[in-house]
Amino acid sequence: MDVMPLLLLVAGSAAIAAAGRRTPVPAPLLLVAVGLAVSYVPGVPEYTLDPHVVLPLILPPLLHTAATDSSYLDLRAQLRPVALLSVGYVLFATFAVGWAAYLIVPGLPLTAALVLGAVVAPPDAVAATAIARRVGLPSRITTILQGESLVNDATAITAYRVALAAAIGEGATWAGGIGEFLIAAIGGIGVGLVLMVPIHWLRTHLKEPLLQNTLSLLIPFVAYAVAEQVHASGVLAVVVVALYLGHRAWEVDFATRLQETAVWKMVAFVLESTVFALIGLQLPVVLRGLGEYEGLDAAWYAVAIFLVVVVTRFVWVYPATFLPGMLSARIREREGSPSGKSAFIISWAGMRGVVSLAIAFSIPVTVHGGEPFPGRNLILFLTFTTVIGTLVVQGLTLPPLIRLLKLPGRDLQAETLAEANAQAQASRAAERRLDELLSDERNALPGPLADRLRAVLERRRNAVWERLGQPNPVTGETADDTYRRLAGEMISAEREVFVKLRNGRYIDDEMLRTLLRRLDLEEAAAYREAT
């Protein structure tokens, strides 16, 4: 097996994503654009999306990171809009896009058109989260988009299986489709509920951070595989387990959390970068198989389906946003009056991604009778153009639209004030506990060490309040910026001395690593106190 193309893909994707952080263009869009351009460079290997790799090996960790970074409480508070989008909208889009494709493309059977509808129905978890982080959407909109993208893949995959069964001649009824959907959904949630408690127990009882992080990396794959093994939704199983673990992450020891955060950030960065680059690299594969649909006809179909996908989301989101409040006084009291600007942004933030392409590539080449699957290559092409169209058109225009609509962003001042109040309450509790401990003769400490504990506590309490203060008139730095910079300079001076001592053979490398590790932790603590 030649691993060089894979290494080039990962390394190139990471480099482009890193460069994208220094440009105004969101990294996902830059990766797709570079992938499109590179796909026709002579000598570049041909990369084909394998659904047997994407769905069980790439999708679970991406869903896991998105779910653990989400808020279970926020998602629960927005359960109604999330459910309307992740289930209702996906099913609506499946039928609306499928029916439109059936009318637009001559000779395309309705069953094959519904397969296309299911394939392009779900907005992408990675795209939605990446764009939302970059443009700084209000927290409620971000929660709704994240919640939708966590669950909608399960709805789309189930709808795809039902439509595919009808298209290849296995026979599928509405009742059977609804039953399969309910079994997959309930089964996936059930598997997640069964797994989440023992997995969390194991995480809290393993004492070695390396073992805990190894388990952490296995969790999404195990949850997905177990659910799929019993013909339930692996997507929902992963999401349920990850939400529970994220909600109770405070019960895991600090060393595990430090390592786990770094490990999962690296995993998410590599996978997200590779996934978006892969989308662009699919162009030659998709175009090569178009056959009878080449030329202006294919271009017209692509534009038409893209427009249907965009319009369909507006058609669903606006009634789903305003009608519940109009029909229910309880919803009006709980959620207030919905904003037309928010509804517009949610409607426009419907980028499609790698899951749609992976599902499309899993369409079989033939039906049960041995005949070619009707319109398979066209479905691949229309999926590809829809994914690219939504990522480029909607992804590029979303930031200026938010600025144009003057959508209120996060209130950083209010968030800092809430953080300061929370820290003050926690510090008072810690101070009371320290007094209780020091009153016991078994915990007797010399005065300087006891004062050091109190000083650390005081510094932590004051750090957040200092962020609300005026910046330095000379440097423009806030007090916490100056504190962090000075702490870093002091630690750098110590680090240089340790290295000189090692180079002079006064200490060995093992001692150097121990001393540097201690400085690293102190530097991390100084950074956390000031942010």
Q: What is the pLDDT of residues 34-59, one digit of tens each?
A: 988 888 888 888 887 788 888 888 88
CA distance 32 to 28: 6
- Domain boundary residue, one of 442, 468, 494: 468
CA distance 249 to 257: 8
Same-domain pairing of 496 and 381: no
pLDDT at residue 531, rounded to an integer: 47
Q: How many domains does the chain have?
A: 3
Least confident of 330-334, 348-352, 391-395: 330-334
CA distance 15 to 383: 27
pLDDT confidence band for 126 (50 / 70 / 90): low
Same-domain pairing of 364 and 511: no
pLDDT tens-place string over residues 152-200:
988 998 889 888 888 887 655 666 777 888 888 899 999 999 999 999 9
Enumerate the β-bridge partners of residue 372.
Answer: 366
Instruction: Give the long-range contacts of residues 110-114, CB within 8 A, separation 24 or more.
Output: 111/163, 111/166, 111/167, 112/167, 112/373, 112/374, 112/375, 112/376, 112/379, 113/375, 114/163, 114/166, 114/167
Q: Count of CB atoms within 10 A of residue 416's CB?
A: 14
Helix (H, G, I), strand (E, B) or coil at 230: coil
- Burial of residue 81 (CB within 10 Å: 0-12, 13-18, 19+) is buried
Any idea what the CATH number is for the domain that residue 274 is in? Answer: 1.20.1530.20
Exposed e or buried b per residue across 18-57, where buried means at least 16 C-beta atoms within 10 angstroms of its C-beta:
eebeeeeebbbbbbbbbbbebbeeeebeebebebeebbee
pLDDT confidence band for 128 (50 / 70 / 90): low
- Nearest by Cα to 191 from 233, 133, 138: 233
Average pLDDT over residues 496-509: 84
Same-domain pairing of 238 and 334: yes
Enumerate the β-bridge partners of residue 366.
Answer: 372
Same-domain pairing of 399 and 500: no
Same-domain pairing of 430 and 402: no
Exposed e or buried b per residue across 126-155, where buried means at least 16 C-beta atoms within 10 angstroms of its C-beta:
bbbbbbbebbebbebbbbbbbbbbbbbbbb
Does the pLDDT of residue 71 top 90, yes or no? no
DSSP state of 337: S
Number of residues written out for the chain: 531
Does the pLDDT of residue 472 top 50, yes or no? yes
With a CB cutoff of 8 Å and minimum separation 6, the contacts of 334 are none
Same-domain pairing of 348 and 445: no
- Nearest by Cα to 235 from 401, 62, 383, 98: 62
Average pLDDT over residues 305-324: 94
Same-domain pairing of 185 and 140: yes
- Nearest by Cα to 204 from 264, 188, 196, 64: 196
Same-domain pairing of 288 and 301: yes
Compute CA 210 distance to the chain's CA centroid, rounded to the nearest angstrom: 24
Same-domain pairing of 152 and 296: yes
Helix (H, G, I), strand (E, B) or coil at 102: helix
pLDDT at residue 400, rounded to an integer: 84
pLDDT at residue 132, rounded to an integer: 63
Average pLDDT over residues 522-528: 68
pLDDT at residue 526, rounded to an integer: 64
pLDDT confidence band for 524 (50 / 70 / 90): confident
Compute CA 350 distance to the chain's CA centroid, rounded to the nearest angstrom: 14
Helix (H, G, I), strand (E, B) or coil at 198: helix
CA distance 419 to 184: 41
Exposed e or buried b per residue across 193-208, where buried means at least 16 C-beta atoms within 10 angstroms of its C-beta:
ebbbeebbeebeebee
Same-domain pairing of 464 and 340: no
Does the pLDDT of residue 329 top 80, yes or no? no
Same-domain pairing of 285 and 302: yes
355 vs 484 pLDDT, higher one: 355
Q: How far apart are the first and last CA of the chain?
A: 47
What is the overall mean pLDDT for the chain? 83
Helix (H, G, I), strand (E, B) or coil at 388: helix
Same-domain pairing of 27 and 69: yes
pLDDT at residue 419, rounded to an integer: 66
pLDDT at residue 409, rounded to an integer: 62
φ, ψ of residue 228 to 5 degrees: the values are -65, -30
Least confident of 262-266, 417-421, 499-503: 417-421
The number of CA neighbours under 13 Å toward the Cβ of 425 is 5
CB 269 within 8 A of CB 129: no
CA distance 286 to 47: 11
pLDDT tens-place string over residues 410-448:
666 666 677 677 777 777 787 788 788 878 778 777 878
As a whole number of angstroms, the longest Cα–Cα distance in the chain is 88
With a CB cutoff of 8 Å and minimum separation 6, the contacts of 438 are 444, 445, 450
Which of 169-183, 230-244, 465-479 has the highest average model confidence (pLDDT)? Answer: 230-244
Average pLDDT over residues 484-493: 79
- Domain boundary residue, one of 448, 468, 488: 468
Residues 125, 131, 136, 140, Cα dihedral to 10°: -30
CB 278 within 8 A of CB 9: yes
Provide the residue range defining the domain that includes 381: 4-410
Angle at Cα 262 formed by Cα 258 and Cα 265, nearest 5°? 140
pLDDT at residue 70, rounded to an integer: 83
Output Rg (C-alpha) for the chain, integer angstroms: 27
How far CA 165 is from CA of 89, 95, 159, 366, 377, in Å, comes to 22, 16, 10, 12, 18
Q: Which helix (H) or strand (E) holds 69?
A: helix 59-69
